[in-house]
Structure 1
């Protein structure tokens, strides 16, 4: 353990400081920091920009943890015990090497912000069965992963205000996103989408504190033309009966699914290799 990290731990133990910042300390394992996982009083643990490869099950000992930042490490797997952190409100595991989330992950009772941007997670076995039971979630950042589809169960995240799906391989969006009535930001740029469910047209995504990002998708001409005029024109289009007919015809013909955007995917793979 570096002298800098040891000093931070010693100060936290002596002062009972609830916030522990171990950013960019060249840490490769939490086991090399004696006493860290026994500091039950800490509420915020920041470990971004280190070299962690795994998180030990004993992370569950930090029973008062509210914020856990593991951004930009090389973590390949999270322990199932992490979901027993009942006070956790913010979890950032972005820019790691995760290809799945652990079993039981959806049992966080008060989690509000989840960021697993820039990993290798996809739909199916990558997400645990109870993932969409995170009803307290307000912001979900899933960008730069490998999603091609998204479960209709997304509708269960009823308090969601921000949904970021940018730079995946999505070929479709579930209609059920339209049931997320509190949604104010939707980021779907950089996917393989050709159409948008008309139900999304009923959401409030155009206010001063709202954001709708649609660029860099192979949209059907009807959407592409309106997007040139701005997102508000796309939202108007989604409420149009002519568009609803086009949408229905499109999804009924699965053989028209667009080819993979290999150029975009290769750019994503190259970026991941550069940060490895």
Structure 2
């Protein structure tokens, strides 16, 4: 009874499949068809053209990994139910216009890894239901205007690993519902701003391995719905304009593996909705204090594999939602608690791969070692020698106060320093300090301003204050502040500058440096004596010559003009005869007195 039922079921299945095959139009000879799934799989069958005989009700057709070279016009016109078509991994170099016409239900189209160089306008005609297109790994050079204009419902477009050098301004016209675009590994040298501005529904934009060196202002205008932007592996990108990201409402931003030497604070300040920021693998050396506060919703910052030497106090101040910091594989020696808005909110911290100095500055991290998530990578001490190579989890609570210690900053020489000098004198004030970690020295002027390392009044590398060519207005008290994580110390010095009498000289600053006024006046006097006239002989000769040449040119032009004018008047007589009556002699009146005369003139 069981055998009979099994045989009957087998016969029924064969008849059912045969019936479906007949009604649907059959299956190509080299393909494998599954009527119950309504799919035809012709992958890897060495086909050189699109096979005939595919079932009319097929929903999926796989033609990948064959040797198809051309897709002709209306090649799939009978497959009205087709929803997925895969032409990947062939040698297709040409797709004719309206090749996919009739596939009104097609949702997915893959043409990955072929030899396409150009997409004719109209090649995607009739694909109004398409949702996903993969054109990656071809040789496409340019996207022409209106290439995708009929793909009204397209949501995702993959165009990576092509030879793209140009995207026309209206290439993406019609993609009003596109949400994700990938422009990876192309030859673009600038942001296709005008083309991207057509994609006003775009949510994700990814651009990897490009040769663009700068992000200009308004690079992504009109992309108000963009939430995720990925810029990665642009080795020449070293400049981001302050308004390059203006108008965007990003929640995720990646600018990694580029050539940024500092965090682009000005460009980031507009991104008040940003939650995820990744600036890893850039030569950034410092995270400055109080410059990220505008990123109110920031939760994660990744700056791995960079050149970080310091995270300043207040670096994350104002970031009340901050949850994760990843600064693995940098050059940090410490991370102070004062960098954070609230360490109680911090959940994940990646500090591994840094030469950490395990002293009092890192005590707050070690005490939270059981609550903090190090993402499976324990931080390790690099100094001092007593704890070198030890992981944070190895320390017991009892030994922490003894090992993680600091010596407060201390000014070594506290003897009073007071300088009373005449104007023009150079003065040095020393400030030698001690402490662990090494204290930071800051000098405050008598006007309560911080003195920099450049200028006439400056702080030298060893912490000494130098006042060059002291002036009367430099008089006052100066304060040396020494501070580290364990404490602060200070030293006050005095400077009193006496003005010189008027008959004595005070050094002046010129382009050549500091010089005595008498020297400058002597130089000016000698220069004036050497040049009593405003112009030298050479200048006068040149001016005279130029004037004479201008005069001769004007005369020559006049003669030429007169010559051509005279030629236009016809034949010219070269002689003229003039009759005249000479005056009578003195006292003469009329009468018979005198005969007339005549003379001839020759015209030159």
C-alpha separation between the residues in 1 aligned to 2:278 and 2:212? Answer: 17
C-alpha separation between the residues in 2 aligned to 1:115 and 1:66? Answer: 14
Task: Kindly state the Cα deviation for residue 248 of structure 1 after the two structures are TM-superposed.
Answer: 4.9
Higher relative contact order (CA 8 A, sep 6+): 1
Go from structure 1 to structure 2 and tell me whether the alpha carbon gap of 1:137 and 1:224 turns closer, same or farther (over 3 Å shift). same
Alignment partner, residue 164 of structure 1: 326
- Give the paired residue count: 248
Higher fraction of strand: 2
Alignment partner, residue 379 of structure 2: 214
Judge conservation of contact 1:147–1:169 (CA < 8 Å) in 2: yes
Judge conservation of contact 2:289–2:312 (CA < 8 Å) in 1: no
Structure 1 position 242 matched with structure 2 position 402: yes
Alignment partner, residue 197 of structure 1: 362
Structure 1 position 103 matched with structure 2 position 293: no
C-alpha separation between the residues in 1 aligned to 2:354 and 2:255? Answer: 22
Go from structure 1 to structure 2 and tell me whether the alpha carbon gap of 1:256 and 1:14 turns closer, same or farther (over 3 Å shift). closer
Kindly report which structure 2 residues correspond to 1:71-82, keeping only aligned pairs within 5 A, or say none. Answer: 71-74=232-235, 75-82=237-244
Length-normalised TM-score, structure 1: 0.74
Alignment partner, residue 274 of structure 1: none
Q: Which has the larger radius of gyration?
A: 2
Task: Kindly state the Cα deviation for residue 48 of structure 1 after the two structures are TM-superposed.
Answer: 1.1
Secondary structure at 1:91's aligned position in 2?
Answer: strand
C-alpha separation between the residues in 1 aligned to 2:383 and 2:271? Answer: 37
1:120-145 deviation digits (Å, cap 9, x = unpaired)? 22227xx5963244231111111222
Secondary structure at 1:40's aligned position in 2?
Answer: coil
Task: Kindly state the Cα deviation for residue 49 of structure 1 after the two structures are TM-superposed.
Answer: 1.8
Higher fraction of helix: 1
Which range is displaced more, 128-137 or 182-191? 128-137
C-alpha separation between the residues in 1 aligned to 2:212 and 2:365? Answer: 39
Alignment partner, residue 285 of structure 2: 122
Structure 1 position 59 matched with structure 2 position 219: yes
Alignment partner, residue 187 of structure 1: 350
Of 388, 391, 402, the match for 1:224: 388
1:10-49 deviation digits (Å, cap 9, x = unpaired)? 5684352111111122322114x75123422211110012
Structure 1 position 42 matched with structure 2 position 202: yes
C-alpha separation between the residues in 2 aligned to 1:94 and 1:29? Answer: 18
Length-normalised TM-score, structure 2: 0.36
Secondary structure at 1:68's aligned position in 2?
Answer: strand
Of 300, 303, 308, the match for 1:147: 308
Structure 2: gaps (5+ residues) = 1-117, 119-138, 148-156, 158-166, 410-433, 441-604
Structure 1 position 3 matched with structure 2 position 140: yes
Judge conservation of contact 2:335–2:362 (CA < 8 Å) in 1: yes
Task: Kindly state the Cα deviation for residue 70 of structure 1 after the two structures are TM-superposed.
Answer: 0.4
Task: Kindly state the Cα deviation for residue 205 of structure 1 after the two structures are TM-superposed.
Answer: 5.6
Secondary structure at 1:3's aligned position in 2?
Answer: coil
Go from structure 1 to structure 2 and tell me whether the alpha carbon gap of 1:59 and 1:85 turns closer, same or farther (over 3 Å shift). same
- How large is the Cα RMSD of the aligned pairs? 3.4
Secondary structure at 2:304's aligned position in 1?
Answer: coil
Secondary structure at 1:176's aligned position in 2?
Answer: helix
Judge conservation of contact 1:152–1:176 (CA < 8 Å) in 2: yes
Go from structure 1 to structure 2 and tell me whether the alpha carbon gap of 1:45 and 1:200 turns closer, same or farther (over 3 Å shift). same
Alignment partner, residue 268 of structure 1: none
Of 386, 394, 399, the match for 1:233: 394
Go from structure 1 to structure 2 and tell me whether the alpha carbon gap of 1:49 and 1:219 turns closer, same or farther (over 3 Å shift). same
Go from structure 1 to structure 2 and tell me whether the alpha carbon gap of 1:60 and 1:35 turns closer, same or farther (over 3 Å shift). closer
Go from structure 1 to structure 2 and tell me whether the alpha carbon gap of 1:186 and 1:129 turns closer, same or farther (over 3 Å shift). closer
Structure 1: gaps (5+ residues) = 258-276
C-alpha separation between the residues in 2 aligned to 1:204 and 1:194? Answer: 16
1:60-100 deviation digits (Å, cap 9, x = unpaired)? 41222111100111311112114434420111110001112
